[in-house]
Amino acid sequence: MVLTGAEIVIRCLQEEKVEYVFGYPGGAVLYLYDALFQQEEVRHVLVRHEQAAVHAADGYARSTQKVGVALVTSGPGATNAVTGIATAYCDSIPLVIISGQVPTAAIGQDAFQEVDTVGITRPCVKHNFLVRDVRDIASTIKKAFYLAKTGRPGPVLVDIPKDITIAKCDFEYPKEISMRSYNPVVRGHQGQIKKAVQLLLEAKRPMIYTGGGVVLADAAEQLTRLTRLLGYPVTNTLMGLGGYPASDRQFLGMPGMHGTYEANMSMHYCDVLLAVGARFDDRVIGNPAHFAEEPRKIIHVDIDPSSISKRVKVDVPIVGDVKEVLDEMIRQLEAGAARPNADHLATWWKQIEEWRGRNCMAYKNSDEIIKPQFVVQKLWEVTGGNAIVTSDVGQHQMWAAQYYHFEQPRRWLNSGGLGTMGVGLPYAMGAQLAHPDTHVACITGEASIQMNIQELSTCKQFRLPIKICNLNNRYLGMVRQWQQIFHGARYSESYMDSLPDFAKLAASYGHVGIRVDRPCDVEDALREAFVKHKNELVFLDFQVDQTENVYPMVQGGKGLTEMILSAEDL
Amino acid sequence: MRHVISLLIENESGALSRVSGLFSARGYNIESLTVAPTEDASMSRMTIVTSGSDEIIEQITKQLNKLVEVVKVVDISEAAHIERELMLIKVRATGKDREEVKRTADIFRARIIDVTDASYVVELTGNQAKLDAFVGAIDPALILETVRSGVCGVGRGDRVLKL
Ligand SMILES: Cc1cc2nc3c(=O)[nH]c(=O)nc-3n(C[C@H](O)[C@H](O)[C@H](O)COP(=O)(O)OP(=O)(O)OC[C@H]3O[C@@H](n4cnc5c(N)ncnc54)[C@H](O)[C@@H]3O)c2cc1C
Ligand SMILES: Cc1ncc(C[n+]2csc(CCOP(=O)(O)OP(=O)(O)O)c2C)c(N)n1
Ligand SMILES: [Mg+2]
């Protein structure tokens, strides 16, 4: 069947079973929009800024296991998308971004709305393509989806010049794709897995450290089985939360800069560390030299060889997919008779319980002023721990991670690697569209929310009943905290002046806005939002304690055992 | 430590910038980089001379392998291998210098491939040290310009980098 390039693009999206495309039109993509208009399978979500289009596609991908899709025009459309692309790249999220480009003949002529999109995005995509021939569109899009979701996932951009969308050719969607230069290793090396299991069984002070890779591989079930089989303590990074049920006794909370005392002490003093789909980020292990001082054997499972032995020397590297490798570990354990030494394990757990006894997440609540931690705790109670929670970046993000206890994967969406303020609302949009019957809450700050506040309009158009919980401390709180601790309390440009009345602002977009000033009103306001206004977007503007800081804390450059547990330690 | 990394890469536009961009973005050294198509026109072969600790070289090869268009990567300096570089050097050649330059070229088995009444272009192939030595042997005042191709390398004997 002979189709135009534009029609072929949309047909490809249909073939990939794409439900939603998040985008924004412009001159270079007019033919694509025309083709979209003439069909119904692929629905388009018109955002109010291209950055939000990519974030929303990203939120859609994080909350499902599908590839998120965004569509933007050339020039400013593409440059606006860059922050979204980089954000997805840093957290290994599968996306396909289609960008319009000026006609082939105009490329390199400094044409109107021409930028070198492939060049600009090269360092922040898994791969990108410039399509130069209409006959290449179908195979390129097929490759883009394949690359985005296999191996270590990531965003893939396809740049399509306008004339290519007009040109015609015969359409056939390739069924299979293979690339001689791209063959990710999925099955782990048997011998290495055997060595790892052996080492795990001999451990006296074992620790399981897992990350985003478990979520990306959809391997929460395998992780839970393995961890229970062994009886070992487990921690999830910020990206891995929900990979193991937070309510379980073996779960020690999150490690790292704002992680728990027990998780960090166990990471540091274990003798065998099983790292699974986690990349020893500096926010997790603190100072690598300090981390290396304590002798321990490290097993590292990751699909990307370059994540292994990058920051920390690894003893047993296993390149492969988390799901496959954990399945094989479970199989070997169950087939063998050997079990962990119960005495060693009991002694180790006794030590861990002592650390846990420090109760590092305790905070002083107040009757007078709303504590941000209290809001998150109440949100958890009111939603029964079952909401999809998105967050922006800052103190509120850490409180969300610390006090909302995730039982399942893909319920916690945030920007860990790039730390992009402004993701919260678009992530919630993508998640709500993918899960229309699930509560979606966006925990944000008065500064972050303003980075993509225009999306309140999109939420109205698509009737997305998101509940925005603004922990309004009138400060760039995370910046203020660092200035207080490291810069002699000189609060340079961290006060958020001239804030809007968020409740009224939400109302002007046609949503419900509620301002909450007193601790005693927090729970009622949340219930009102989730019950009475179940089907509406509610903007809850919580006026919280301006001076609250996030604890525990490992200061930059310090070791994991050198934690500040509360303000008294300062 | 100096390493010579050879790789096969799809002959696509932009492939070179993915490699060079990787080196600059991650702060790795490039001493030289050469690239040209192989007998299979759909693939290019690149030789990169770089230096770094063992950990850095390990990351470099892993990161190169991770590039979607890279087909194969080998650190050929890990075993016996041959390196060659081509140099064209234009020197002032007048009076007694004419004979002197010619003599030096002969000693190095270099060839004079262009002659005018005032200059020679000398062509010399060898490893980096040999080319450096030749440059060192010529009076700097005589050198008009030098151009070097960068290093090409290949493993000895059975070691073959092929698809
Ligand atoms: C303000 C702020 C504070 C922060 N504080 C903390 C903190 O206290 N604690 C904390 O943990 N983080 C913190 N972070 C987040 C931190 O910056 C990193 O983003 C995070 O720690 C990385 O998580 P990860 O190691 O799980 O890796 P990810 O970025 O999730 O990477 C996943 C890894 O798994 C691999 N992988 C992917 N798919 C598969 C598969 N199928 N099979 C096998 N492997 C796979 C990938 O190759 C990669 O190596 C903070 C971020 C911000 C913005
Ligand atoms: C786009 C972007 N710009 C700047 C920063 C640096 N930054 C990190 S947290 C933060 C303050 C966030 O303030 P707010 O959203 O009010 O959250 P709070 O920390 O007060 O909870 C800033 C400016 C960032 N992460 N992202
Ligand atoms: Mg704030």
Beta bridge partners of A319: A302
A31-50 pLDDT, tens digit per residue, is 999 999 999 999 999 999 99
Residue A232 sits in the same domain as residue A334:
yes
pLDDT band at B94 (very low <50, low <70, confident <90, very high): very high
Tell me the chain B residues in contact with residue A147 when contact means C-beta distances shorter than 8 Å: 68
Distances (CA, A) of A395 to A67, A69, A446, A449, A450: 30, 30, 11, 13, 16
B58 vs A309: CB contact, 8 Å cut-off? yes
Task: Look at residue A313 in the predicted model and tell me its pLDDT.
Answer: 95
**Which residue's alpha carbon is nearest to atom 11 within ligand 1?**
A237
Shortest Cα distance from A116 to chain B (angstroms)? 12
Could you tell me which of B53, B121, B41, B131 has the C-alpha nearest to residue B88?
B121
A122 CB neighbours in chain B (<8 A) are 14, 17-18, 21
In a domain, A393, yes or no: yes
A420 Cα: distance to centroid of ligand 2 (angstroms): 8
Q: Is A372 near ligand 2, meaning CB less than 6 Å away?
A: no
Question: Ligand 1 centre and the CA of B84: distance in Å?
Answer: 44
Distance separating alpha carbons of residues A174 and A139, to the nearest angstrom: 6
pLDDT at residue A161 greater than cutoff 90: yes
A contact test, residue of B8, B66, B70, B163 with most A CBs within 10 A: B66
Q: Is residue A428 part of a domain?
A: yes
pLDDT per residue over A432-458, tens digit each?
999 999 999 999 999 999 999 999 999
Q: Which ligand 2 atom sits nearest the alpha carbon of residue A451?
A: 1
- Whether A469 lines ligand 2, by a CB cut-off of 6 Å, is no
DSSP count for chain A of H helices, then E strands = 22, 19
Evaluate: CB of A395 within 6 angstroms of ligand 2.
Answer: yes
Whose alpha carbon is nearest atom 18 of ligand 2?
A477
Q: Which of A136, A170, A204 is the last residue of a domain?
A: A170
A563 lines ligand 1 (CB under 6 A): no
The rounded Å distance from CA A425 to ligand 2 centre is 14
Residues of B in contact with A118 (CB under 8 A): 14
| Own/partner long-range contacts of B136-139 (Cβ < 8 Å, ≥24 apart) | B137/B104, B137/B107, B137/B108, B138/B89, B138/B91, B138/B101, B138/B104, B139/B97
A189: DSSP letter: P
Domains of chain B: 2-78 (3.30.70.260), 82-152 (3.30.70.1150)
Q: In this predicted model, what pLDDT tens digit does every residue of A373-413 receive, in sequence order?
A: 999 999 999 999 999 999 999 999 999 999 999 999 999 99
Question: How far lies A329's CA from each of A151, A251, A365, in Å?
Answer: 20, 20, 44
Helices (H), A336-371: 342-356
d(CA A412, CA A59): 10
Nearest CA in chain A to B21: A123
Q: With 80 as the cut, is the pLDDT of residue B41 above it?
A: yes
Number of domains in chain A: 3
pLDDT single digits (tens) B110-157: 999 999 999 999 999 999 999 999 999 999 999 999 999 999 999 999
Task: Please check whether residue A85 lies inside any domain of the structure.
Answer: yes
Determine whether the interchain pair A306/B62 forms a contact, defined as Cβ–Cβ distance below 8 Å: yes
Question: In sequence order, what are the beta bridge partners of B82?
Answer: B154
Among B71, B20, B64, smallest CA distance to A305 is for B64
Q: Do B14 and A147 touch (CB under 8 A)?
A: no
What is the average pLDDT score of chain A? 97
**Residue contact B55–A118, C-beta within 8 A:** no
Expressed as residue numbers, the domain containing A412 is: 372-550
Q: Which A residues, 60 through 119, put their C-beta within 8 Å of a C-beta on chain B?
A: 118-119
Which residues, 6 or more positions from B96, have their beta carbon under 8 angstroms from its beta carbon?
A: none
Residue A126 contacts B where some CB pair is shorter than 8 Å: yes
Q: In testing the pocket of ligand 1, which one of A62, A91, A92 has its CB within 8 Å of the most ligand atoms? A: A92
Q: Is the CB of A242 under 6 A from ligand 1?
A: no
CA A269 to mean position of chain CA atoms:
28
Does residue A568 lie in a domain region? no
Considering only the beta carbons, identify the residue of A119, A306, A309 that sits closest to B66. A306
Cβ of residue A448 lying under 6 Å from some atom of ligand 2: yes
B163 band by pLDDT with thresholds 50, 70 and 90: confident
pLDDT of A303 > 90? The answer is: yes
**Could you tell me if A376 and A426 lie in one domain?**
yes
Residue A140 and residue A289 in one domain: no
H helix or E strand, kind and range, residue B131: helix B128-137
Active site residues of A: 50, 112-113, 162, 478
Which numbered atom of ligand 1 lies nearest the CA of A278?
25
Cis bond before residue A552 (omega within 30° of 0): yes
Measure the CA–CA gap between A156 and A89, rounded to whole angstroms.
9
Both A146 and A195 in a single domain?
no
Task: Kindly give the number of the ligand 2 atom that is closest to the alpha carbon of A481.
Answer: 19
Q: Is B70 in Cβ contact with A147 (below 8 Å)?
A: no
B55 with A309: Cβ contact below 8 A: yes
**What is the structure's pLDDT at A569?**
82
Q: Distance from the CA of A525 to the center of ligand 3, in angstroms?
A: 20
Q: For residue A127, count other CB atoms closer than 10 A to its CB.
A: 20
A110 exposed, middle or buried (CB, 10 Å; 0-12, 13-18, 19+)?
exposed
Closest-CA residue, ligand 1 atom 51, reads A416
d(CA A568, CA A421): 30
Of A246, A481, A265, the C-alpha closest to A355 is A265
CATH number of the domain at A232, please: 3.40.50.1220
pLDDT of residue B3: 98
The amino acid present at B45, given as its one-letter code, is: R
User: Based on the domain organization, do A405 and A518 belong to the same domain?
Assistant: yes
Q: Does A311 touch chain B (CB under 8 A)?
A: no
pLDDT of residue A568: 83
> Residue B11: pLDDT above 90?
yes
Domain assignment present for residue A176? The answer is: no
Confidence of residue A570 (pLDDT cuts 50, 70, 90): confident
Q: Closest Cα of chain B to A39: distance in Å?
A: 33
Whether residue A477 has its Cβ less than 6 Å from ligand 2? yes
Q: Do A155 and A42 belong to one domain?
A: yes
CA of A478 to the centre of ligand 2 (A): 6
Distance between CA atoms of B40 and A365, rounded to whole angstroms? 71
Q: Is position A346 within any domain? A: yes
CATH number, domain with residue A511: 3.40.50.970
Give the number of the atom of ligand 1 that is nearest the alpha carbon of residue A215. Answer: 38
A257 lines ligand 1 (CB under 6 A): yes
Q: Are strands B81-92 and B152-155 parallel, antiparallel or unpaired?
A: antiparallel
Count contacts between A and B (CB, < 8 Å): 37
Q: How far apart are CA A152 and CA A502, in angstroms?
A: 39
A537 near A468, Cβ under 8 Å? yes
On the question of pLDDT at B22 being above 90, the answer is yes
Distances (CA, A) of A39 to A23, A46, B101: 16, 16, 76
Band (B23; pLDDT cuts 50, 70, 90):
very high
The rounded percent of chain B whose pLDDT value lies above 70 is 100
* A539 shares a domain with A396: yes
Ligand 1 pocket test, pick from A67, A87, A149, A152 with the greatest ligand atom count within 8 Å of Cβ, gives: A152
The answer to whether the CB of A277 is under 6 A from ligand 1 is yes
Task: Specify whether A396 is located in the same domain as A347.
Answer: no
Q: Please tell me the predicted confidence (pLDDT) of residue A567.
A: 85
* Interface touch B63/A306, C-beta < 8 Å: yes
Residues A480 and A425 in one domain: yes
- Does A164 lie in the same domain as A104? yes
Pocket test for ligand 1, best of A252, A283, A564 (most atoms within 8 A of CB): A283
Q: Is residue A89 part of a domain?
A: yes
Count of CB atoms within 10 A of residue A490's CB?
Answer: 8
Chain A residues lying within 8 Å of B9, measured CB to CB: 181
From A448, A451, A541, A543, give the residue whose CB has the most ligand 2 atoms within 8 Å, as the site to mutate: A448
Ligand 1 neighbourhood includes A375 CB (under 6 angstroms):
no
- Residue A228 has a pLDDT of 98
Closest residue by Cα to residue A403 from A425, A372, A432, A448: A372
**What pLDDT sits at residue B89?**
98
Question: How wide is the angle at C-alpha A345 spanned by C-alphas A339 and A347, nearest 5°?
Answer: 155
Number of H helices and E strands in chain B, helices first, is 4, 9
pLDDT per position as a tens digit, A178-210: 999 999 999 999 999 999 999 999 999 999 999
Q: Is residue A179 part of a domain?
A: no
For residues A238 and A102, membership in a common domain is answered with: no
Give the single-character DSSP code of A161.
E
Average pLDDT of the residues in A18-30: 98
Q: How far apart are CA A122 and CA A128, in angstroms?
A: 7
Query: CB–CB of A277/A301 below 8 Å?
Result: yes
**Domain shared by A106 and A198, yes or no:** no
Give how far B79 is from chain A: nearest CA, Å.
23
Structure tokens given for A108: 């390199």
